[in-house]
């Protein structure tokens, strides 16, 4: 392509890495449901990923067991890259999970496939590990991924809870995996739920 001609003098590996890095810049255009803390707009997925990396780095002491925080941060920085192709599916959306999972798998193969093979395989494996949420690193990553929107919803006075008329039972059902990665953070989330119900931002259990 004409637009990529400037890359040709560079080593092939560096060309691939630059192409990947420029392609994933598109993550900045994927808009999520959660508002930023001042309530002025919705966050984009790149902002979400950056915020989660900071969540994990700041809250690592509350992980349920020993974790490798560098791996957790890497997972969180790449976990939603697939939304470039597959789009964001809000937690309370009715989109069939199986359909979305297939779209995201295809997206992961394309996007990570832009990288040199060793890095493509490494990032793909990290992404798969995060999605499976069976290792301590992935469980903690999933925990902060679920926790961040809870705090944002509370600070803006409802957010996606009011958008989707979410009740307390539904919220717990969708976020209970926080407990798998951090009982401490789950206890904090329960406190937030109770206060949100008291304030009328989260509907009482039906």
Q: What pLDDT was estimated at residue 1?
A: 47
Query: Looking at the predicted structure, is the pLDDT value of residue 2 above 70?
Result: no
Cα–Cα distance measured from residue 194 to residue 182, given in angstroms and rounded to the nearest whole number: 19
Average pLDDT over every residue of 24-46: 98
Residue 116 near residue 59 (C-beta atoms within 8 A): no
Cα–Cα distance measured from residue 128 to residue 85, given in angstroms and rounded to the nearest whole number: 17
The most distant pair of C-alpha atoms in the chain lies apart, rounded to whole Å, by 63
Cα–Cα distance measured from residue 76 to residue 193, given in angstroms and rounded to the nearest whole number: 24
Mean pLDDT value across the chain: 95
Both tokens of residue 87?
A: 């789009």
Per residue in 67-113, pLDDT tens? 999 999 999 999 999 999 999 887 766 666 778 899 999 999 999 99
Per residue in 143-191, pLDDT tens? 999 999 999 999 999 999 999 999 999 999 999 999 999 999 999 999 9
Q: What pLDDT was estimated at residue 31?
A: 97
3 versus 152: which is more confidently predicted?
A: 152
List the helix and strand counts (H, then E) for the chain.
11, 2
Nearest to 99 by CA among 111, 161, 107, 174: 107
- The class level of CATH for 11-199 reads mainly alpha
- Angle subtended at Cα 193 by Cα 188 and Cα 195, rounded to the nearest 5 degrees: 95
Q: Binning pLDDT at 50, 70 and 90, where does residue 5 land? A: confident
pTM of model > 0.75: yes
Q: Kindly provide the b/e burial profile for residues 85-95, where b requires at least 16 CB atoms within 10 angstroms of the residue's own CB.
A: bbebbebeeee
Cα–Cα distance measured from residue 45 to residue 99, given in angstroms and rounded to the nearest whole number: 20
Q: Please report, for the chain, the start and end positions of each structural domain, with discontinuous segments joined by +.
A: 11-199
Per residue in 112-128, pLDDT tens? 999 999 999 999 999 99
């Amino acid at each position: 392509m004409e637009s990529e001609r400037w890359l040709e003098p560079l080593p092939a590996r560096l060309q691939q890495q630059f192409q990947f890095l420029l392609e994933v810049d598109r993550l900045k255009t994927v808009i999520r449901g959660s508002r930023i803390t001042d309530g002025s707009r919705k966050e984009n997925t790149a902002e979400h990923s950056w915020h989660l990396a900071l969540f994990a780095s700041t809250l690592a002491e509350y992980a349920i067991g020993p974790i490798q925080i560098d791996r957790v941060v890497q997972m969180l920085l790449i976990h939603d890259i697939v939304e470039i192709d597959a789009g964001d599916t809000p937690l309370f959306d009715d989109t069939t999970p199986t359909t979305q999972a297939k779209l995201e798998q295809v997206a992961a193969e394309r996007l990570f496939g832009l990288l040199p093979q060793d890095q493509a395989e490494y990032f793909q494996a990290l992404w798969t590990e995060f999605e499976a949420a069976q290792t301590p690193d992935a469980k903690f990553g999933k925990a902060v991924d679920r926790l961040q929107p809870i705090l944002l919803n509370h600070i803006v006075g409802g957010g996606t809870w009011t958008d989707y008329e979410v009740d307390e039972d539904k919220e717990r059902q969708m976020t209970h995996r926080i407990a798998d990665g951090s009982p401490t953070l789950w206890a904090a989330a329960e406190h937030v739920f109770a206060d949100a119900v008291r304030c009328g931002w989260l509907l009482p259990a039906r």
